[in-house]
Structure 1
Amino acid sequence: MKSVVIIGGGIVGLSTAYYLHKEGFEVTVIDKGDITSGASFVNAGYITPSHIIPLASPGMIAKGIKMMFNAASPFYMKPRLDTDFLKWSWYFHKSSTPAKVEKAIPAIKEINLMSRELFTDIKNSGDLGNFQLERKGLLMLYKTEAAYLHEKQVAERVAFEGLEVSDLNKSDLHKLEPHVNIDAEGAIHYECDGHTTPTEIMPKLLAYLKGEGVVIKTNEEVVDIKSSGDRIIEVITNKDNYQPDEVVLAAGSWSANLAKKLHLKLPLQGGKGYCINRERNTGISIPAILMESKIAVTPMNEFTRFAGTMEFSGNNDIIRKERVMAIVNGVHSFYPEIEIDVAEIENVKTGLRPVSPDGLPYIGKSIKIKNLTIGTGHAMMGWSLGPATGKLISELLTGNKTFMSIAAFSPNRVF
């Protein structure tokens, strides 16, 4: 039986453990925290085949520069003299071309659709018991014609790709969401999308893995990775040493620093997001993105989550009050009757999404280190793509044919 150490206990790490265990591997997951917080817990819970356009798209750098000096803006890049950040920014700029976006679309669509199917398979298996998994779609709510016309272009491409999408006016919107007052001119409805409650699934997945004999090491940090020739021979933590046959690097935003220990370049930046949960009834029944405010809204199991912002300010968990209030104000702008109180604001949570320069994940085996497989860099699609990434990594390690071509996701790609 082959032994595998998975570094990182987020949705990608645990999904990988799930599929590798099914294939008969001896699996150990190591996480520097207690697997109760971070991006896998504070995300919007979306399953989004509609998100076919990568973050690195034409115009994003210009937007970033424009918003750079406004710490309350939805997309914020903190100016700093950091070599890794400056290199990443240059690679991001080089990746933001129509040709590269066009090339990325089919791969993003395919892996999203597969992941949506795998979420359903996991639920139907009964392994995790019951959990929220709904297919009500995603509403892109807009106030201005400019926002509508921008999203209309995306919607046309989504429809061209064979995914379900419709155009809603104010009246249509009211029929779909009769129990909440929405101040919007209309919406694009991506009917192909689904949603979940991450804080429900993550503990259930963790409990299932523990019950199946998967070793979970929490509050244990990998401090070094030793290699000899083209193989990892030892993973060293602050508590123990491991000599696995295979290593999976799925440490989210911290993956780049760990890759450096093997003299590997893995351009990656942590994109901080925030979320506010409201446990009082909101009347919202369908997930939405408030376009002008760039806020995600999700009716989760027993609460509504308001999530947003993409903040590049380094790997830290500092909460910036102005960014939290931007979410509060954005929500009130679209849902004028929904108030977020002081206690809810003070209970804000944050997490770091690992963002590659081209907005595509890193999924694949290292060409330099033969027993290293990488799964990170999913940006805003980490939750959506967790199961598919885990399945792909299990196929790579078993030597089976992957369910799709993963050339676009190669961790060895050059920017």
Structure 2
Amino acid sequence: MSKNIIIIGGGIIGLCSAYYLQKEGHQVTIVDQSNMDAGASYVNAGYISPSHIIPLSAPGVMKQGLKWMFNSSSPLYIKPRLDIDFLKWTWAFNKSCNTAHVQKAIPTIKDITLLSQKLYEDINQAEGFHSHYEKKGLLMLCQTEKVLEHEVKTAHLAKREGLDVVELNANELKEVEPNVQLNAIGAVYFKCDSHSTPNEFMEAMKAYLKQVGVVFYSNETVEDLEFKNGAITAIKTNKQTLKADEFVLAAGSWTSLLSKKIGLKLLLQAGKGYRINSNQNTNITVPAILTEAKVAVTPMHGFTRFAGTMEIAGINHTIRKERVEAIANAVTRYYPDVVLSSEEKSQATCGLRPLSPDGLPYIGKSLKCNNLTIATGHAMMGWSMGPATGKLVSEIISNKKTSISLDMFHPDRIF
């Protein structure tokens, strides 16, 4: 049965949800507070990464975060503040940083990212999108024996999950990137990964959705939810009131602010990431993560993107120059011939990634509301999990059996 559905949020999760919902014959409207041309869905590293099987909440992360807390240029910067939501999230995050959680999360993360990778390919083929997409794998570049040993252990976990991954010494690394001077002792090479140019896919998807009748309201902020008898009846924006049968809350880092209006207190924090684009001829052809520095390198369509840092400091878009410099300096440490210019660094931008305490997204319906589907909390994996999340949202609303289990994604899970 066709339903009238409103999606709050026009990032990768919202667009992919709209894509699959309209395929099911539903009438879809997307409401977004921005112009829908910036933010995490546009400035990310473009990875579709089955290799990223370890959740953010892994053993040792909290301890390292505390060490880096007063270093604003560190790869992970957690700004200390007296905020009840932040303190609850921090407590839950710390509880999740254990081996048992990681082992339980690995197959779940693998399943959703592999599904998403296939769906990217299916969408591009089915709709004739010409957006950039390649499957060249991902290099985990290492400069120290200690870090390389840690990455090899992760590679062994990935192999046991059936992922295509090999270990490379310095000479073998040179064969993979023959035209690039690299300062690394070795790498782990995940051949299973893909990469893309995000803005191309986003623009193609928006154009397609408009063509098939999806309604867009951009630069429109949702200010309130009309809630009665366990269901949302309408949303109030700064411009109008909109009614629907079903609602999807895919507003990224802003999701928890809206969910509170129906009594659903999602533990969610914004994790700011930065990106620097370079039009230099870097000769880089294979995506890489500069492991010690936690910087992502992606050869995109016509330019190279350098992205990184995780800054947990509330919802803000302040560009901290020391963090931009940290990315640029890391690039030159690993790629001595690549020096980012002052102009390139001055044009750095950021995006906010929604972080759940256990590193897994919230996908599904809360017992608090029977016509609201939550889709957020993907951390650094929003781009990797976008199409799969959209398909799962559509299956939930269309009362179909979901493609994968949603047990670990439940919005009401207890930390």
Bucket of the pairwise TM-score, normalised by the shorter protein: over 0.9
Residue of structure 2 equivalent to 1:49:
50
Q: Number of aligned residue pairs: give it.
A: 414
Matches within 5 A, 1:219-238: 219-238=219-238
How far 1:100 moved relative to its partner? 1.1
Q: 2: distance between equivalents of 1:230 and 1:259? A: 13
Aligned equivalents of 2:205, 2:287: Cα separation in 1: 23
- Structure 1 distance, partners of 2:329, 2:204, is 34
Cα separation, 2, equivalents of 1:306 and 1:128: 28
Structure 1 CA distance, aligned partners of 2:28 and 2:280? 40
How does the TM-score come out when normalised to structure 2? 0.99
Moved over 6 A (4+): none
State the distance in 1 between where 2:68 and 2:298 align.
Answer: 26
1:19-62 per-position Cα deviation (integer Å, ceiling 9, x unaligned): 00111110000000011000000000001101111000111110
How far off is 1:129 after superposition?
2.2
Is 2:103 the partner of 1:102? Answer: yes
For residues 191 and 182 of structure 1, the distance between their equivalents in structure 2, rounded to whole angstroms, comes to 19
Q: Residues of 1 paired with 2:312 and 2:155: CA distance?
A: 28
Q: Is the 8 A contact 2:129 2:201 kept in 1?
A: no
1:290 matched to which residue of 2? 290
Identify if the C-alpha distance between structure 1 residues 128 and 81 changes in structure 2 by more than 3 Å, giving closer, same or farther: farther
Give the deviation of 1:212 after TM superposition: 1.0
* Residue 259 (structure 1) aligns with: 259
What is the distance in 1 between the residues matched to 2:330 and 2:320?
A: 16
| Corresponding residue of 1:170 | 170
Residue 191 of structure 1 corresponds to which residue in structure 2?
191
Please tell me the residue identity of whatever aligns with 2:354.
P
Equivalent pair of 1:128/1:204 in contact (CA under 8 Å)? no
Correspondence 1:65-214 to 2 at 5 A: 65-125=66-126, 127=127, 129-214=129-214
1:9 has 2:10 as partner? yes
Partner Cα separation in structure 2 for residue 128 and residue 56 of structure 1: 38
Q: How does 1:217-366 map to 2 (within 5 A)?
A: 217-366=217-366
Alpha-carbon distance in structure 2 between the residues aligned to 1:260 and 1:95: 23
- Tell me, in whole angstroms, the C-alpha distance in 1 between the residues paired with 2:132 and 2:171: 28
SS in 1 for 2:331: helix
Which AA in structure 1 matches 2:325?
M
TM-aligned CA distance change 1:128 to 1:379, over 3 Å: farther
Helix, strand or coil at the partner of 2:262:
coil
User: Amino acid of the residue matched to residue 163 of structure 1?
Assistant: L
Q: What SS does the corresponding residue of 1:261 show, helix, strand or coil?
A: helix
Q: SS of 1:163's equivalent?
A: coil
1:36 aligned partner = 37
Rounded to whole Å, the distance in 1 between the matches of 2:168 and 2:215 is 49
Check whether the contact 2:138–2:289 (CA below 8 A) recurs between aligned residues: yes
In the TM superposition, residue 128 of structure 1 has moved relative to its aligned partner by 5.0
> 1:401 corresponds to which residue?
401
2:389 match: 389
Any idea what SS the aligned residue of 1:386 has?
A: helix
- For residues 83-140 of structure 1, give each alpha carbon's deviation from its aligned partner in whole angstroms, at most 9, with x where no partner exists: 1001000000111111111111111110011000000101111x25212111110000
TM-score between the two structures when normalised by the length of structure 1: 0.99
Residues 230-261 of structure 1 deviation map (CA, whole Å, 9 limit, x = unaligned): 11011000011111000000000000000011
Counterpart Cα distance in 1 of 2:281 and 2:395: 43
**Structure 1 unaligned spans of 5+:** none
Query: Equivalents in 2 of 1:342, 1:348: separation in Å?
Result: 10
SS at match of 2:29: strand
Amino acid at match of 1:119: Y
SS of residue in 1 equivalent to 2:118: helix
SS at match of 2:397: helix
Gaps of 5+ in 2: none
What letter corresponds to residue 109 of structure 1 in structure 2? K
Residues 125-169 of structure 1: per-residue CA shift (max 9 Å, x gap): 1x2521211111000000000110111110000001000000111
Mapped contact 1:33–1:219 kept (Cα < 8 A): yes
8 Å contact from structure 1 (residues 128, 205) kept in 2: no
Distance (whole Å) between structure 2 residues aligned to residue 280 and residue 122 of structure 1: 31
Aligned-residue offset at 1:178: 1.0
Please give the secondary structure, in 1, of the residue aligned with 2:85: helix
Q: Is the 8 A contact 1:48 1:384 kept in 2?
A: yes
Conserved 8 A contact 1:44-1:298: yes
What percentage of residue pairs aligned between the two structures are identical? Answer: 55
Q: Is the 8 A contact 1:276 1:306 kept in 2?
A: yes
Check conservation: 1:182, 1:335, Cα contact below 8 A: yes
